[in-house]
Structure 1
Amino acid sequence: MRGLLLLLTLVLASALAVVYTKYRSRMLFAEIQRLEQELEAYEVEWGQLQLEQNTWAERSRIERLARTRLGMVLPQRESIIYIKP
Structure 2
Amino acid sequence: MSLNKLNAVLLLLLILCAMSVVSSTHVARKLYYELEKEQKLARQLDVEYGQLTLEQSTWGAHALIEKTAAARLQMLTPSQRQVHVITPEGVR
- Report % sequence identity: 32
Q: Deviations over 1:41-79 (max 9, x none)?
A: 111011111111111111111122233444444444444
1:16 to 11, 16, 19: 19
Distance 2:66 2:55 in 1: 17
Spell out the pairing of 1:10-49 with structure 2 (5 A cutoff).
Answer: 10-49=13-52
Could you tell me the TM-score, scaled by structure 1's length?
A: 0.79
1:7 aligns with 2:10: yes
Q: Which amino acid in the other structure matches residue 50 of structure 2?
A: G
Return 5+ residue gaps in structure 1 as ranges: none
Q: Which residue of 2 aligns with 1:65?
A: 68
Structure 1 letter corresponding to 2:37? R
How many pairs align? 85
Moved more, 22-31 or 75-84: 75-84
